[in-house]
Amino acid sequence: MSNAYFTIAKPANDPFLGYLPGSPERAALKEELARQASEVVKIPLIIGGKEVWTDETIPVTMPHDHQHVIAQCCMAGEKELKAAVDAALAARDAWEAMPWEHRSAIFLKAADMITGPYRKVLNASTMLGQSKTVFQAEIDIAELADFLRFGVWEAQEIFKKQPESVDGIWNRQDYRPLDGFICAVSPFNFTSIGGNLPTAPAIMGNVSVWKPSRTAALSNYYYMKLLQWCGLPAGVINFVPCAGSDISRYVISHPKMAGFHFTGSTAVFQSVWKQVGENIASYANYPRLVGETGGKDFIFAHPTADIAPLAAAIIRGSFEFQGQKCSACSRAFVPASIWPEVEKLLKKHTAALKVGDVQEFDTFMAAVIDKDRASSLLARDVKADQLIILTAVDRVCVNFNKPDQQELPSMTLAEAEADISAMLRDASATLEGDPDALRLRTMHLAYESVKQSGGTLVIPSAFSEGFVPEAGKKAGKTL
């Protein structure tokens, strides 16, 4: 009989490794990159803890060298998706009954492996499969460990919360998982989010059916294998790469879907919300829908802003990971009085950015994730009245090793206007010394330009200011 009171200390964020020349982590990662680049991994479905192989497969390629196949991934269909739901529901009762500290031990062990010997495996697969530079992969994988450690700690803090009692009455509260399964649909751009979406509900005692992004299949598969190695019981998380239409038809429509955990496009999340709402009477519960969707981040600079940090923030916010983060900067609103200095630095630093192979550790930008993403960027034309558009990226890279895509060439500064790199400023007046009314008008212009270019959600964005903190407060309140 267990009667001890278990506690988990509040974790700290995992520190990043530097991968400096001559460092042991650099040598180990270089070796792992070479190993993974030299093989083609066969990725099965994992349903009820067992590998399931299907006739339908897709190639997993390096985005920066898309003729280089690094994996063949099985795709689930109707039969496999229904089996995954059944496996999750079959595992539910035993997983719920497992003491929370035993569940937590599995994920804490996984976190220790991620920050230890498994770090190079996830870093390398994220670099090769998602075209992340060494730094971008490193911060991604460190965040995955953070998700696990903070997840179990937050679960503990939730379990601690109990109702107040009065004389003669002792009120107590147990926390139970949802009655059904969680459908987790994860994106390509963060391995950490891919791992967290099915795992966070599992920490609380839920079971998941996980559809990873087909363009992040390799890193996500390695993470799933790690969870199994760390003792995750069969069926708690079921790994089923598949078409989005199939997950909608066979999983989201299932009466026992109790929750939907998602990161991706606004359009997809809205379609799921609509599907669930129109069929709400068919569900055993009211499904919980939790999602994060893309936004149109911008930087709004105050006339007092320090020029060098402002230019650096614009460049890093716009071009790290090829502008594919959900927090990527898509616009910068810069006062005309400081624009010449900002423009000079933007052109100087952007011209020096190295676009290339992620296996070269001085690369700043690699390739966008796939042909569809590249097409959408090159086809987007940013226009707004009274705004001047500056494209600060010198090319959009699809395949710089073997340029065989004639319809998607590398684009020069004069040839491409990509939404992720549009730098806009108010051309009608300078903000310096202007009354608040003009500042508010300019901010509303910023908001309207975001809406007109397809943005349906504005993520809280950045305000660059010097020694006028009140300006930042007013800006935030206005937006």
pLDDT digits (tens, 9 = 90+) for 364-388: 988 887 766 655 555 544 443 333 3
Residue 120: pLDDT above 70?
Answer: yes
Residue 15: pLDDT above 60?
Answer: yes
Q: What percent of the chain has pLDDT over 90?
A: 61
* Residue of 155, 148, 151, 153 whose CA lies nearest to 116: 148
Q: What letter represents residue 430's amino acid?
A: T
Reading the block at residue 401, the tokens are 């090793």
pLDDT digits (tens, 9 = 90+) for 40-52: 999 999 999 999 9
Mean pLDDT (the chain) is 82
The per-residue DSSP string of 361-387 comes to: TT-SB---SSHHHHHHHHH-----TTE
Q: What sign has the CA pseudo-torsion 403, 407, 412, 413?
A: negative
Stronger pLDDT, 301 or 400, i.e. the higher one: 301
Q: With cut-offs at 50, 70 and 90, classify the pLDDT of residue 121.
A: very high
Residue 107: pLDDT above 60?
Answer: yes
3-state secondary structure of 424: strand
**Lowest-pLDDT choice from 106-115, 283-292, 401-410, 459-468:** 401-410
Dihedral (Cα; 77, 79, 80, 86), 10-degree rounding: 140
Report the pLDDT value the prediction gives residue 409, as an integer from 0 to 100: 35
Angle between helices 217-229 and 191-203 in degrees, nearest 10? 40
Work out the burial of residue 175: count CB atoms within 10 Å of its CB; fewer than 13 is exposed, 13-18 middle, 19 or more buried.
Answer: exposed
Residues with a known catalytic role: 292, 326
pLDDT digits (tens, 9 = 90+) for 404-462: 333 333 333 333 333 323 333 333 333 444 444 445 555 555 555 555 544 433 333 44
Angle between helices 119-130 and 24-37 in degrees, nearest 10? 50
| Distance between CA atoms of residues 217 and 45, nearest Å | 11
**Lowest-pLDDT choice from 177-181, 254-258, 279-283, 451-455:** 451-455
Q: With cut-offs at 50, 70 and 90, classify the pLDDT of residue 339.
A: confident
| Distance between CA atoms of residues 98 and 100, nearest Å | 6
Plot region of 368 (φ>0 → left; ψ -120 to 50 → alpha; else → beta): beta
Please name the residue that has the structure tokens 């943005």: 455
Q: With cut-offs at 50, 70 and 90, classify the pLDDT of residue 277.
A: very high
The angle formed by the CA atoms of residues 60, 41 and 70, to the nearest 5 degrees, is 40
Q: What letter represents residue 349's amino acid?
A: H
Report the pLDDT value the prediction gives residue 325, as an integer from 0 to 100: 85
Report the pLDDT value the prediction gives residue 427, as an integer from 0 to 100: 32
Rounded to a whole number, what is the largest CA-CA distance in the chain? 79
Please name the residue that has the structure tokens 């950015």: 353
Report the pLDDT value the prediction gives residue 295, as an integer from 0 to 100: 66
* Over residues 273-292, mean pLDDT: 96
| Distance between CA atoms of residues 115 and 144, nearest Å | 9
**Lowest-pLDDT choice from 65-79, 257-271, 419-433, 456-470:** 419-433
Report the pLDDT value the prediction gives residue 253, as an integer from 0 to 100: 96
| Distance between CA atoms of residues 127 and 131, nearest Å | 5
Query: Which residues lie closer than 8 Å to 228 by C-beta, 6 or more apart?
Result: 46, 49
Report the pLDDT value the prediction gives residue 444, as an integer from 0 to 100: 55
Q: With cut-offs at 50, 70 and 90, classify the pLDDT of residue 99.
A: very high
Stronger pLDDT, 401 or 27, i.e. the higher one: 27
Q: Distance of CA 184 to CAs 18, 207, 466, Å?
A: 33, 10, 42
CB 228 within 8 A of CB 50: no
The per-residue DSSP string of 238-259 comes to: EE--B-HHHHIIIIIT-TTEEE
Report the pLDDT value the prediction gives residue 408, as an integer from 0 to 100: 32
Q: With cut-offs at 50, 70 and 90, classify the pLDDT of residue 400.
A: very low
Q: What letter represents residue 202's amino acid?
A: A
* Over residues 461-473, mean pLDDT: 51
Report the pLDDT value the prediction gives residue 452, as an integer from 0 to 100: 52
Count of residues in the chain: 479
- CB atoms closer than 10 angstroms to residue 67: 11
pLDDT digits (tens, 9 = 90+) for 134-174: 999 999 999 999 999 999 999 999 999 999 999 999 999 99
Q: How far apart are the first and last CA of the chain?
A: 56
Q: Which helix (H) or strand (E) holds 33?
A: helix 24-37
Report the pLDDT value the prediction gives residue 388, as an integer from 0 to 100: 32
Q: What percent of the chain has pLDDT over 70?
A: 76
Please name the residue that has the structure tokens 């992969």: 137
Report the pLDDT value the prediction gives residue 470, as an integer from 0 to 100: 59
Query: Which residues lie closer than 8 Å to 399 by C-beta, 6 or more apart?
Result: 64, 65, 66, 67, 367, 405
| Distance between CA atoms of residues 256 and 176, nearest Å | 16
- CB atoms closer than 10 angstroms to residue 30: 16
Q: With cut-offs at 50, 70 and 90, classify the pLDDT of residue 343.
A: confident
Q: Whole-prediction pTM value?
A: 0.83
| 290: β partners | 261
CB 152 within 8 A of CB 204: no
Please name the residue that has the structure tokens 């803890």: 49
CB 208 within 8 A of CB 238: yes
Report the pLDDT value the prediction gives residue 205, as an integer from 0 to 100: 97
pLDDT digits (tens, 9 = 90+) for 176-186: 999 999 999 99
Q: With cut-offs at 50, 70 and 90, classify the pLDDT of residue 479.
A: low
Q: How many CA atoms lie within 13 A of 257 on its CB side?
A: 29
DSSP secondary structure code for residue 352 in this structure: T
* Residue of 111, 119, 131 whose CA lies nearest to 368: 131
Q: What letter represents residue 228's amino acid?
A: Q
Please name the residue that has the structure tokens 């993470």: 223
Work out the burial of residue 384: count CB atoms within 10 Å of its CB; fewer than 13 is exposed, 13-18 middle, 19 or more buried.
Answer: middle
